[in-house]
Chains A and B, each alone.
Chain A
C-alpha cells in the first residue's frame, strides 16, 4: 500500500509541476463554458428586418409596431417597392423582410383575410427558421387580439416550454460541455501520462519494479479522477451561478453519475495508452476518435433522433450519449435514479469492458 501511495504522490507532482497540464485541467473548462454560454447561442436578439408596407394603414402600422417592440427585431429600413427586397438581402444585414399586401386593413375587414409575406434569409437556415417563427407568432397574437369577438370558434394553444421555459441555449450546453470536457481531461490526460513514461523510458523501470500492473494503472488514474471531479463541480457551479442552469434533481446522484462517467473515460484513456507508445499518437487518437463523436454523435448539438439510421446506430455505442441523457434528466427534469438506471447500467458496462481490456492489454514486458 505504501508503494501505491508513493506512486500516486509522484503523479500529483507531475501534474502540479506542469503548468500546461494545469491550464488544460482548469482553464479550458471555464473558457469553454463561457464561450459556449455567451457566444454560441440560438437565442434571437435585435435581428435586423426590413418592412415593405404597400398598404400603410392602421392595421399594418400596428402590426409593425408590435413586431419592432418585441425586443427580437429592429428596423433596418423601410422599402418602397417589391424589387428592393433582393437588394436588401444581398447587403447582408437584413435577416428578415415583411411584406404587407395592398389594402391590408380593408381586405381584412371585408374578406376576412389579407396578404402578408415573410421572407427570411435562409443562407443561415436555423436563424431564418427561428426568426420566421417569432414573427409569425407576433402577428398571430395580434390578429387574435383584434378578432376575438368576430370569430365564432377558436382554438388558442397555450405553449409552454417544459424544463427550459425561456429556451436558453446554455441549458443544452452545460450537459454537453460536461460530457466533452470530462472525456477530454480524463481520456487525453491519462493516455498522455502513461505514454510519456513509455517515451521517457521510465516505464522500463516501473515494469522492473515490484509494482503490479493494476497498481500502476490505478495509480495513474486516481489523480485524474480527483481533478476531473473537481472540474465537474466547477462546471456545475458556473452553469448555476453564471448562467442560471438549475440542478433540479438530486445533486449527489448527479455527482455520482459524473464520477461513473469520469471512470469510464479514464479507462478508455488507459486503453488508448496501452495500444500506443507515443504521446503524439495517443493525443491524435484521443482528440479525433473521442472528441468529434462526443460533439457530433452524442446528441450534444444535433438530436440523435433526426440522424440517418446508420449514424443513430453509431450514437448508441458512444458513451457520452448516455451521460448527456442522464445529466439532462437529473439536472433539468429533476428525475431520480429510477428514470436513469438503464443509461447508468450501460455506462457502467462500458467502464467494465474498457477496464478489463486495458488490464489485459497492459504489457508486463517491453515489446
Chain B
C-alpha cells in the first residue's frame, strides 16, 4: 500500500491579485514530522487551510490519506486534527469542557483516547476547572493540541502552534510532537522560528508562496557551501555594515550578539579581518570559526 500520507501537486491559490501559493508540490510519508518554515505571509496558513479542506485551491490537486481535499472533504474531516493559527477554543468553557466538547463532536470521549493525549493533558490537568480564557499562552496551545488530538486523527495540521509562546513551553511542545510520532500520526507543522526546523524530520522552506527547498535538516546544513565566522565587538550596527563592505564577504547576518560572516571557503584570513577591524577602531574584537546552524542555511536560502 502507498505509504504517502499527504500528496500536494501543483497547488496555486490567489487572493485577489496576491499570489498566496504558487505551484506548490510536495509529499509527506505517513508518520513523518514535517515542518514548514517561512516568514509571515509566506502562504503557510493558506496551504494548511487547503489541506484542512477549508479553502479551495485555484489550481492543482492535493490529497490527505488518499482522499481528495475538494471531492472527499467530508471523509478528510473525519480523520483530521487541525489546530488553527489563532487560539480557537471557547474562552468561556473550562479546560475540561473544551476537551470533552471536541471529543463529543468527533464522536468519541476523553476516556477512549486518553492514552494519546495523557502526556500533554497531564500538564494542564491541574487547571482543568479553569476557564480556557484564563490560561497562559503555552497552556492554551497545549490544550488546543489536546483538542486536535482527542479523536485520534491520522493526520494533524498545526498552524504556527508555538507563535507567541515562551521559549520553555516551545521546547516542551516540540518534545510532545516528537513523542506523538510514535503513534504513527503524520504531523505537519508550520512555524516562523527557524531554530525549530532542526526538530522536524524534514522541513520545507516557503517564501512568497513558493517552496524554496525541502530536505532533512542535516542535509540542509550539509549543503551549506560557505565558511562561517562569528564576529563580536561593540558598536554592533556599524560592525554589520563594515563587515558587509569587507572584500570577499558573501553575506552578514545578525544572530543575537554576534554577526555571522559567510564567505567562500578559504577566501579570507582571520588575522587579516581582525587587523582590519582593530584598525577601524573596534575594541574587543572576537572572531571564531563556527559550524553552520539551520538558521544560517535558511538565511542563505531566503536571500537567493
Contact = CB atoms under 8 A, between A and B. Distances in A.
A209 interface: yes
B105 A3 contact: yes
Contacts of A207: 54, 77
Contact of B90 (A202, A211, A367): A202
Contact of A2 (B49, B82, B91, B104): B104
A6 B53 contact: no
B88 interface: yes
Given A365-B55, A367-B55, A205 B102 contact: yes
A360 interface: no
Given A205-B84, A210-B74, A210-B77, A18 B55 contact: no
Contacts of B90: 10, 13-14, 200, 202
Nearest to B159: A204
A75 to B, nearest CB: 61
A218 interface: no
Task: Assign chain A's interface to a size class.
Answer: 20 to 34
A316 B92 CA distance: 42
A208 B52 contact: yes
Interface residues of B, number: 30
A39 interface: no
A17 interface: yes
B262 interface: no
Contacts of A208: 52-54, 77, 80, 82
A213 B54 CA distance: 14
Nearest to A367: B55
B282 interface: no
B84 A365 contact: no
A201 B107 contact: no
Given A3-B107, A205-B84, A365-B53, 9 more contacts: A3-B105, A3-B106, A13-B90, A17-B92, A200-B91, A204-B82, A205-B82, A208-B54, A365-B56
Interface of B: 49, 52-56, 73-74, 77-78, 80, 82, 84, 86-93, 97, 100-102, 104-107, 147
12 contacts: A3-B105, A6-B105, A7-B101, A7-B104, A14-B93, A17-B92, A202-B89, A205-B88, A205-B147, A210-B74, A365-B55, A366-B55
The 9 closest A-B pairs by CB, nearest first: A6-B104, A201-B88, A366-B54, A208-B82, A17-B92, A209-B105, A204-B84, A202-B88, A201-B86
